[in-house]
Amino acid sequence: MWIKGARILDPENGIDTMGDIHVSHGRIAGIYPGGSPDTDAESIDAQGKWVLPGLIDMHVHLRDPGFEYKEDIASGSLAAAAGGVTTMVCMANTDPVNDNPSVTKYIIDRAKSVALVRIMPVGAVSKALMGQELSEMGLMKEAGIVAVSDDGNPVEDASLMRSALFYASTFGLPLLSHCQDRPLSVSGVMNEGALSSGLGLSGIPGVSEEIMVSRDLLLSRDTRVPIHLTHLSTKTSLELVSRAKEQGIPVTCDVTPHHLLLTEEGVKTYDTNMKMYPPLRTEEDRKALVEGLLHGIIDCVATDHAPHARDEKNLDFDLAPFGVIGLQTLLPALLKIHFENDKGLLGVLGAVTCNPARILGIDGGNLTPGSRADITIIDPQRQWVFTEECIRSKSKNSPFLGQRFTGMVIQTIVEGQTVFRES
């Protein structure tokens, strides 16, 4: 198969060129800048299109096993394929929790039989996510996990976190930390500030995240074990990470598309699709996150895709669950940041391709000849509005409903096979 006449974008190899790509036996066979010899083989006319490595979303909740009415491995993979995401890393807070190899094996076997894209499970740091006893990381690694995280919960006990860093590193497993000081945030439902007071909603102060960011940075410095901080939301968190990187602390981090594009103002209408943890912050925070992404302080963008059923979100703001879906709006959101800032296309795309691959130690995220042919083709000019009808996920709780985007995924290829084509 040939993909012809595209703008080829490969952040890992620093490639931004017009040309053709040859795919053979599920692998990238070659890239031909300026075009290839004529061939009778099957070809995709990609004039005017952009071709990139399939996206890697390193923070997804697939709700399977246990909450399949919200999402399951099959529906989550449909949404991923439609979003140009060819690898998903799914968190451990299922029911049962993925804290032992039998749950890991269930996810991997289920993905093999029903998923359109590659699914890589994350194992729990602690048994049942309770933060008291370390999980069976080694056995789960053998069964196929690629990282550990108690996401959904913070690891509150610093001593356990320190042991977890040592233990995870012996198996080469990156640790993904959800930074939240619980006593400071436990009753909150949105960002703490003048707006939360005005709306009569209890707040979650930025410092509840920043305290845990500081602790994790100190633990990483102390143990010399890398740590990855997920879904950072405040300017101060980024300043802490930036300083730590300068000091040589092995820290990496990600942010979500909703924290890059939206602010607490979205909560003014009490729309529960604007409720997630961490909460949407201020415009000053949002701008700092965008700058952090453009300047490489933020390594990755990940969705924290968190499906919830309509009747669960149809509650008062105080009572509705935290979390929003994001797989199908990841790429359009990144393109919006690129177009608005008119720079850094390869850097921005690196945040969803080669950077997560490097941090997780997995293959993929590039178009290097010989590597897996996971490819996303987009029409960069297509203007469209994201509506419920677009959503392939079982749940519809997106904060981007009604949002106008420029740039649309039109075809997604996994190991040389088309798994999504825009109709």
Q: Which residues are catalytic?
A: 304
Residue written as tokens 């449909």? 78
Minimum Å gap between C-beta 178 and Zn ion is 4
Which one, of 120, 119, 116, lies nearest residue 392 by Cα? 116
Please, which residue, 151 or 299, has the CB nearer to Zn ion?
A: 151
Q: How far apart are CA 244 and CA 176, in angstroms?
A: 17
Site string for Zn ion, 164-193 (x = CB under 5 A): --------------x---------------
CB closer to Zn ion, 153 vs 412: 153
Q: How far is the CB of 154 from Zn ion (least distance, A)?
A: 8
Question: Cα–Cα distance between 401 and 384 in angstroms, integer?
Answer: 12
Q: How far is the CB of 59 from Zn ion (least distance, A)?
A: 6
**CA dist list (Å): 241 to 132, 215, 246, 247:** 27, 11, 9, 10
Could you tell me how many residues of this chain bind Zn ion (CB under 5 A)? 3
Q: What φ, ψ does residue 6 adopt, rounded to 5°?
A: -95, 165
CB of 239 to Zn ion, least distance (A): 21
- Minimum CB distance to Zn ion smaller for 151 or for 264: 151
Looking at 141-149, 156-164, 300-308, 414-422, which segment touches Zn ion (CB under 5 A)?
300-308
**Going residue by residue from 95 to 134, which x/- string records binding to Zn ion, judged by CB under 5 A?**
----------------------------------------
Smallest gap from Cβ 320 to Zn ion, in A, equals: 16
Region from 104-112, 132-140, 146-154, 408-416 binding Zn ion, contact rule CB under 5 A: 146-154
- Min dist. Cβ of residue 279 to Zn ion (A): 12
String of contacts with Zn ion for each residue 372-411, x by CB under 5 A: ----------------------------------------
- If the CB atoms of residues 276 and 367 are measured against Zn ion, the closer one turns out to be 276
**Nearest residue (CB) to Zn ion, 46 versus 60:** 60
Instruction: Please say whether the beta carbons of 157 and 131 come within 8 A.
Output: yes
Stretch binding Zn ion (CB under 5 A), from 97-105, 112-120, 299-307, 325-333:
299-307
Q: Which of 297, 308, 261 is nearest to 280 (CA)?
A: 261
Contact track, Zn ion, 55-74, x by CB under 5 A: --------------------
CA distance 283 to 421: 36
Residue with structure tokens 């009808």? 389
Q: Which is closer to Zn ion, CB of 104 or CB of 233? A: 233
Which listed residue (151, 192, 264, 299) binds Zn ion by CB under 5 A? 151
Please name the amino acid found at residue 78: L
Q: Which stretch binds Zn ion (CB under 5 A): 98-106, 184-192, 301-309, 342-350?
A: 301-309
Integer Cα distance of 138 and 45 in angstroms: 46
What is the number of other CB atoms lying within 10 angstroms of the CB of residue 338? 20
Residue nearest Zn ion (C-beta atom): 178
- Residue closer to Zn ion by CB (options 49, 305) is 305
Interacting residue with Zn ion among 304, 313, 349, 353 (CB under 5 A) = 304
Binding part of the chain for Zn ion, among 71-79, 147-155, 244-252, 291-299 by CB under 5 A, reads 147-155
Q: Which of residues 250-279 bind Zn ion (CB under 5 A)?
A: none
Residue with Cβ nearer Zn ion (121 or 407): 121
CB of 177 to Zn ion, least distance (A): 9
* Min separation Cβ 50 and Zn ion, Å: 29
**Positions that interact with Zn ion (CB under 5 A):** 151, 178, 304
